[in-house]
Amino acid sequence: MKILAIDPGYERMGMAALQKTARGEMVLASACFKTSSKLPFPERILLLGCELGAWIEKWKPEALAIETLFFNTNQKTAMRVSEARGAILYEAKRHGLHVFEYTPLQVKIAITGDGRAGKERVTVMLKKLVVVEKKVEYDDEYDAIAVGLAHFASKSFPQRQ
């Protein structure tokens, strides 16, 4: 099974194409797509959707796994990320993908066994679980890979094989 995993954001969107085979999970590709803060917000949302659409067409996944929004104290940022998630979900459904959502807690538990694990611990475990053959510049990319692995570890995964 091949999936796309997304760490949503409007400034940076982490993306990973992953595949589960009889030999285990593989990262086919990962990236952090960035939009310029100089662009109007609607243009940034359009760019996110277009980039995701291109990844869907290239990797032909069966599903999209996405992290749910963790509300922080900055309401403006939370609202903008929610709007980015809406564009991502729209694009996934437009391409006929099954969509699975995971909380940050679920992702951390799936990767480390501890829902309170920090980013550094999650990254260390990711490197033990899968091979990432390139230098990762932003945590958003690791976060997307973690979401994908959480999907493969979830109870909903076998139902969609």
Structure confidence by residue, pLDDT tens digits, 98-157: 999 999 999 999 999 999 999 899 999 999 999 888 888 899 999 999 999 999 998 665
- Read off the pLDDT of each residue in 5-34 and give the average, rounded to a whole number: 95
Task: Identify the bridge partners of residue 5 per DSSP, sorted by sequence position.
Answer: 16, 65
Domain count, the chain: 1
Collect all residues with Cβ–Cβ distance below 8 Å to 128 and sequence separation of at least 6: none
Other CB atoms within 10 A of residue 40 CB: 8
3-state DSSP assignment of residue 3: strand
Maximum distance among all alpha carbons in the chain? 45
Euclidean distance between CA atoms 102 and 85, whole angstroms: 13
Calculate helix-pair angle for 139-153, 119-129, nearest 10 degrees: 60
As annotated, the active-site residues are 7, 67, 140
In tens, the pLDDT along 66-75 reads 999 876 667 7
**Residue 77's domain spans which residues?**
2-160
Q: Strands 63-67 and 98-102, how do they pair?
A: parallel
CATH number at residue 118: 3.30.420.10
